[in-house]
Structure 1
Amino acid sequence: MNHKTLTEAREALKKYWGYSTFREGQEEVIHAVLEQRDTMVLFPTGGGKSLCYQLPSVVTEGLTVVISPLVALMQDQVQQLNNRNIAATFINSSISSWEVEQRLVNARNGMYDLLYCAPERLQTTLWQAELPKLDINLIAIDEAHCISEWGHDFRPSYREIRPALESIAASVSWMALTATATPEVRTDIQNNLELSEPVVVSKGFDRPNLKWWVLSSEQKDQKMLTAVRRASNTGVGLIYAGTRRNCEELSSKIQKQLGIETESYHAGKEPGDREQIQQRWVEGNLPLVVATNAFGMGIDKADCRYVIHYEMPYSLEAYYQQAGRAGRDGEESFPLLLFKPSDLRIAEKRIKDSYPEREQLQRVYDALCDSLDLAVGSEMETAEELSIDLLSKRAGFSKRITRSALNVLNHLGIIELIEYITPRIGVHFIANRDYIRELISKSENERKRLFLDTLLRQFGGEAFAEMKYLDFDYVREKLNVSPNAVKKGLQVLQDHDQILQFHSRGDLPLVKLLEERQSVLRLSKKELEQHRNTLLKKLEYMQGYIETEGCREVYIRQYFGESQVRPCGHCDNCLSEKKGEVQFMDSDLLSIKQALSKGGKTIPHLCRQFGWSRSRVKKSLSYLIREEKVKVNEEKYIWANSTEN
């Protein structure tokens, strides 16, 4: 990279992001990108991955294509970039085919620096037709662990990224980014994307400001309340509660018993409410959110002081990513996992139950296609809204089985299921333009006249041909009325004046078949069971993290492939050991030595002799064994210099 380019990169960092210097690892990545080298970026959550492709996009010619699996994250990042006056947009199944086409035309004409794209989009006829006309400079694959079947969120569509872009593969730079990749996953990413001698930049998986803690108790509610009471003095927090019901109940309990303002966040909430809760939390106006695991994706908040997991995640990758949302500013923060033994049995059962029988998958698939009026061989152009309740009734299954089947079909790349989208409003004018203009000019109601005129200007000519969708907040801002007034006004124009039809999106998930409808799903039993077995293996590692008596940070870092890792000194196990050593050095050394010098003793014997807890005896003995002062013969502990064998 020449000096001028480095200067431009630093100027762009200051101009668009307001930073004077790069964070650790970022400059090395950007250096490699500007030299058109392939790169693999392994930064922890909050480590500044997105800047690694966003900044090069504004200092180089051409388009950066960012491939992301998360609709909510795409929308969030595009909004942040636009707020910084960086030209960016996204294409996915939450927008109409007309809008997708228009955005691709704009991209072809050089109107964007970044184009965010769902991996499934690369397979479409429209994308393949436009691809040769796009001046693409960099392909950035976010959440790259989705490529690997060993990743915690494997998506088959990710393995088709390289083949779909083969025609331009040699003329662009490639970047793969992830916060959670074991050595096997890294190898899989590199091989699948065919990265050419990539520059690998890893910040490691240590988070020295995080105090990892696991609390095992049957009284999880009480322990949670105690933890929140203590942690609330440090700043805002986040609780991952697992289910909607837990979110509601825990949120209510915290407010009633602790008086701390708390909101629940889950898919059952109105989209506008979810967005408002998220915004208040990000701005520091809401101390605590109790959420399902969808909360936090793509959210840029540096000063979350504590993250409590009321329900255990099923993989160490998911836990590390979610817990890592605490302390992104480098200040001391607290990730706490609440646990009881039955959690593991429940988790194992849920994983096994989450893979329905092949016949159940077929039935839900058929019911879905029938509800979408799709004949065998038919394709879908855009995603449609989906009611899980209605689909469950149609398939004749419980909502749990139906939901599980949809998740598996989504995971296997048969459908695309979009759960969290920015609320959008669609308008289709059914009266002709001249009639509407006449209605505007003759209206004696000033507010109605202004409302309709603004609507016409914002939705434009396309809305006369089909339902056109725009972001709800954008429309509300242009109309300069409350959210409720937007819908009321549209209702009047639809029901009374009968000049348009409108539709809200965001209340229900969206679904799209990624291929034409099949009469019989082409799925083998091996294919269905393989990922389930991987998830069960990952659950074993999660159990290992919970049950380890060693340093928790060491366990995490070794899981992600780091070696020669020293204990952190500040997780619960390290602090407990230190405390044990102090007690031992102060008073316990002589007692243990005198007792064991007279002959071997079992742990129960020592507990009775000293009146100590089993935990205190075990920790003292563990320390002595490491110091080679005590040895073990069957269940008896013996002082190393004693004569007993």
Structure 2
Amino acid sequence: MEFDSELFSKAQQSLEQYWGFPSFRSGQDDAIKSVLAGQNTMVLFPTGGGKSLCYQVPATVLGGLTVVISPLVALMQDQVQQLNDRGIAATFVNSTISSWEIEQRFANARNGMYDLLYCSPERLQTDLWQAEMPKLNIDLIAIDEAHCISEWGHDFRPSYREIRPALKDIADEITWMALTATATPEVRDDIQQSLGFEDSEIVSKGFERPNLKWWVTSTEQKQQKLLQAVKKAAGRGSGLIYGGTRKNCEELSQQITQRLGINTKAYHAGIETGDRKEIQQKWITGEIPLVVATNAFGMGIDKADCRYVIHYEMPYSLESYYQEAGRAGRDGQESFPLLLFKPSDAIIAERRIKDSYPEKEQLQHVYDVLCDHLNLAVGSAMEESEEVSIKKLKKRAGSSKRIIRSSLKVLKQLGIIELIEYITPQIGVQFITGADYIRDKIEELENRKKSHFLDTLFRQYSGEAMGEMKYLKFEYIQRKLNLSPNAVKKGLQVLQDHDQMLKFELIGELPLVRLVDERQSKLQLSKKELEKHRNSLLKKLDYMKGYIETEGCREVYIRQYFGEEKVQECGHCDNCLSNEAQEISVSESDVKRLKELLEEDGKTFNEIRAAFDWSEARAKQLLGYLIREEKVAADKNQYSWQLD
């Protein structure tokens, strides 16, 4: 592989200029050299391995545009904000902004105003994208979370398999990069086949995390064990608990705060967006040391010094577990992923996977109800995504919320609908009077608070909102007005209903839905097609149970699952330490005598050997084990007993 050394030198300068890093991490340099050489590249880095820099840095030195395809709206918006904060020109197009704004951003991209453009895979199939694509000077396509391409992946999205076909007109003229933290060998092969990669460069850092001490605790008393684990780990630094459900998150955070005195916050979709962001930021800075969250927490969060991650509920795949647990110890320092488990967890997990796949008739019924809710006749199509209330669909369908949600997800997996389940709350404003009238009104109003409200609003939305609805983040407008959320809404209501100067609408955290094709009278679905992905998830659950039940090295199990061969035992997971203890034949009487010897005063290695008449090898083995178990402390040449 030949690469442009001058271009790579510029990439190194860019890394220091924008990110402040003096050099690339291991693997990043190889991935970037490959891309700069025009080579199609697959990047397999563990969570926290620095995947995003592998396309962000080249984007700053390549002459054209880098298009980043990402599955999560919130994540692409956060990454764009971070890039903009560093002075890098980046933007996104997705369903949270108006069609006028999307067209404007495409015009800017045509004119070379951006280094990076983020979008979802569904966006590539729109008429607007197909019209704009030939006009864009695209150098690199970077596909984040590339495991979504594979039907064998833990987060399959049919729209990911349409990426290559949607870009077929330019596919052979550009460089491709696919990135993931979790891909088994069959998933890797599927990704490369779907993207048409031939002789691609694969850059893998492997799945070894030597600083992580993998641990599983089987117990019927999970809450009690959780409190014990947090008490023991809290002194090491910040932590993260995956609670599973909203209820668990609330109850566990309250229990930990009250019983252990550790400032702990719950994080889930039921908490206001602004509060979620505040919790997230305070956790990153260490102001809040512990968060109990659903699995929505952590995507795109860059916190290097999380010392422990505890799973209160079992994830349904090793991919998910490795990704979430891997948020511990990104700085390379010793950290602890702990999974709490009881046998009924596996039974519940299997039932939930099966329940999450509705029967064919249920799926048809929810599809019909959704189309009726959207006022779509048979043969009608949708151009734009629309918000859909799960509550209203539930009432209309006469089904449970679980059936509605699972049906929408399956319709998404089958490529029948596009579904975006989280967007940043925004306020859309359209002024329906002239600009001069608004300026005069600002001057004439005797109510100075109202005048200031209107003036601030007009400055933020300006001329773009005179012809059509323009959307801005709710949080941003609230901050500019320095008012509570309710006060902002009331002020807008007055200007709309009483003064008739504008129209406004709020788009919040309701899911956005769009039918991919025209409405059908009957969905063409086979039982085999419906069960295919479900069976894949059940197989992954079996591997997850295997990880929990294995008596061998846990790191070996993980690394072999992801396709690594000739893997050595880690020597520090719970199973390795337990097996080592059995080999050492630690007796209670040995531990008791050693405790009595070391409690009063520290002893040297030779003094301990003499007192027990042990061989040098046995003494080293036993003391090493007790040090790892934190029963004995070693300071230079002295050994002492740790306080219980």
Q: Shared topology, TM-score over 0.5?
A: yes
Which letter does structure 1 place at the counterpart of 2:209? R
What SS does the aligned partner of 1:168 have?
coil
Q: Post-superposition shift, 1:363? A: 1.0
Q: Post-superposition shift, 1:407? A: 1.3
Q: Post-superposition shift, 1:333? A: 1.0
Q: Residue 93 of structure 1 contacts residue 512 of structure 1 at CA under 8 Å; is this kept in 2?
A: no
Deviation per CA, 1:169-219: give whole Å up to 9, x if none: 111000000000001011111111011311110000001111110000000
Moved more, 264-273 or 68-77: 264-273
d(CA) in 1 for partners of 2:42, 2:510: 36
Q: Please name the residue that 1:453 is paired with.
A: 455
d(CA) in 2 for partners of 1:587, 1:183: 49
d(CA) in 2 for partners of 1:574, 1:498: 72
Q: Residue 68 of structure 1 contacts residue 74 of structure 1 at CA under 8 Å; is this kept in 2?
A: yes
d(CA) in 1 for partners of 2:246, 2:4: 53
Which letter does structure 1 place at the counterpart of 2:426? R
Moved more, 516-525 or 444-453: 444-453
d(CA) in 1 for partners of 2:587, 2:284: 46
Q: Post-superposition shift, 1:414? A: 1.6
Q: Residue 421 of structure 2 contacts residue 509 of structure 2 at CA under 8 Å; is this kept in 1?
A: no
What SS does the aligned partner of 1:154 have?
coil
Q: Residue 4 of structure 2 contacts residue 36 of structure 2 at CA under 8 Å; is this kept in 1?
A: no
Deviation per CA, 1:108-129: give whole Å up to 9, x if none: 1111100011000111100000
Q: Please name the residue that 1:440 is paired with.
A: 442
d(CA) in 1 for partners of 2:284, 2:588: 47
1:512 aligned onto 2:522 = no
Per the normalisation by structure 2, the TM-score is: 0.89
Q: Post-superposition shift, 1:106? A: 1.1
d(CA) in 1 for partners of 2:102, 2:253: 40
Per the normalisation by structure 1, the TM-score is: 0.88
Deviation per CA, 1:290-316: give whole Å up to 9, x if none: 111111111111111111111101000
d(CA) in 2 for partners of 1:232, 1:498: 56
d(CA) in 2 for partners of 1:264, 1:44: 26
Q: Please name the residue that 1:343 is paired with.
A: 345
Deviation per CA, 1:242-286: give whole Å up to 9, x if none: 111111111222122112111111122222222222222122221
Q: Please name the residue that 1:399 is paired with.
A: 401
Moved more, 512-521 or 213-222: 512-521
Q: Please name the residue that 1:286 is paired with.
A: 288
Q: Residue 91 of structure 2 contacts residue 116 of structure 2 at CA under 8 Å; is this kept in 1?
A: yes
d(CA) in 1 for partners of 2:175, 2:88: 21
Q: Post-superposition shift, 1:421? A: 2.0
What SS does the aligned partner of 1:90 have?
strand
Q: Residue 148 of structure 1 contacts residue 188 of structure 1 at CA under 8 Å; is this kept in 2?
A: yes
Which letter does structure 2 place at the counterpart of 1:174? W
Which letter does structure 1 place at the counterpart of 2:554? R
Q: Post-superposition shift, 1:401? A: 1.0
Of the three residues 551, 554, 560, the one matched with 1:552 is 554
d(CA) in 2 for partners of 1:28, 1:482: 49
What SS does the aligned partner of 1:139 have?
strand
Unaligned runs of 5+ in 1: 589-645
1:426 aligned onto 2:411 = no
Q: Please name the residue that 1:307 is paired with.
A: 309
Question: CA 1:438 to 1:152, structure 2 compared with 1: closer, same or farther past 3 Å?
Answer: same
d(CA) in 2 for partners of 1:396, 1:17: 53
Q: Post-superposition shift, 1:491? A: 3.3
What SS does the aligned partner of 2:66 have?
strand
d(CA) in 2 for partners of 1:493, 1:579: 74
Q: Please name the residue that 1:175 is paired with.
A: 177
Which letter does structure 2 place at the counterpart of 1:257? R
Which letter does structure 2 place at the counterpart of 1:262? T
What SS does the aligned partner of 2:178 have?
strand
Q: Post-superposition shift, 1:438? A: 1.9
Of the three residues 101, 107, 120, the one matched with 1:118 is 120
Q: Residue 272 of structure 1 contacts residue 423 of structure 1 at CA under 8 Å; is this kept in 2?
A: no
d(CA) in 2 for partners of 1:221, 1:48: 34
Q: Post-superposition shift, 1:512? A: 2.1
d(CA) in 2 for partners of 1:520, 1:432: 49
Q: Please name the residue that 2:162 is paired with.
A: 160
d(CA) in 1 for partners of 2:256, 2:496: 43
Deviation per CA, 1:512-563: give whole Å up to 9, x if none: 2222222212221111000000011001100100000000000000000000
Moved more, 31-40 or 495-504: 495-504
Alignment of 1:197-596 (within 5 A): 197-481=199-483, 483=485, 485-583=487-585
Q: Post-superposition shift, 1:50? A: 0.2
What SS does the aligned partner of 2:458 have?
helix
Which letter does structure 2 place at the counterpart of 1:511? V
Q: Please name the residue that 2:56 is paired with.
A: 54
What SS does the aligned partner of 2:383 have?
coil
Q: Residue 231 of structure 1 contacts residue 306 of structure 1 at CA under 8 Å; is this kept in 2?
A: yes
Which letter does structure 2 place at the counterpart of 1:231? A
Moved more, 114-123 or 504-513: 504-513
What SS does the aligned partner of 1:293 have?
coil
Which letter does structure 1 place at the counterpart of 2:335? S
What SS does the aligned partner of 1:581 have?
helix
Q: Post-superposition shift, 1:488? A: 4.0
Identity %: 72
Q: Residue 424 of structure 2 contacts residue 509 of structure 2 at CA under 8 Å; is this kept in 1?
A: no
What SS does the aligned partner of 1:422 have?
coil
Alignment of 1:606-617 (within 5 A): none
d(CA) in 2 for partners of 1:328, 1:505: 36
d(CA) in 1 for partners of 2:141, 2:196: 13
Alignment of 1:68-217 (within 5 A): 68-217=70-219
Moved more, 13-22 or 504-513: 504-513
Question: CA 1:488 to 1:232, structure 2 compared with 1: closer, same or farther past 3 Å?
Answer: farther
d(CA) in 1 for partners of 2:354, 2:410: 12
d(CA) in 2 for partners of 1:253, 1:478: 37
Q: Post-superposition shift, 1:482? A: 5.3
d(CA) in 1 for partners of 2:365, 2:462: 42
Q: Please name the residue that 1:606 is paired with.
A: none
Which letter does structure 2 place at the counterpart of 1:542? M
d(CA) in 2 for partners of 1:471, 1:100: 16
Deviation per CA, 1:70-121: give whole Å up to 9, x if none: 1111111111111101111111122222222111111111111000110001
Question: CA 1:507 to 1:160, structure 2 compared with 1: closer, same or farther past 3 Å?
Answer: closer
Moved more, 18-27 or 385-394: 385-394
Q: Residue 110 of structure 2 contacts residue 136 of structure 2 at CA under 8 Å; is this kept in 1?
A: yes
What SS does the aligned partner of 2:321 have?
helix
Q: Please name the residue that 1:615 is paired with.
A: none
Question: CA 1:381 to 1:391, structure 2 compared with 1: closer, same or farther past 3 Å?
Answer: same
Q: Residue 270 of structure 1 contacts residue 507 of structure 1 at CA under 8 Å; is this kept in 2?
A: no
Q: Post-superposition shift, 1:383? A: 2.2
Q: Please name the residue that 1:12 is paired with.
A: 14
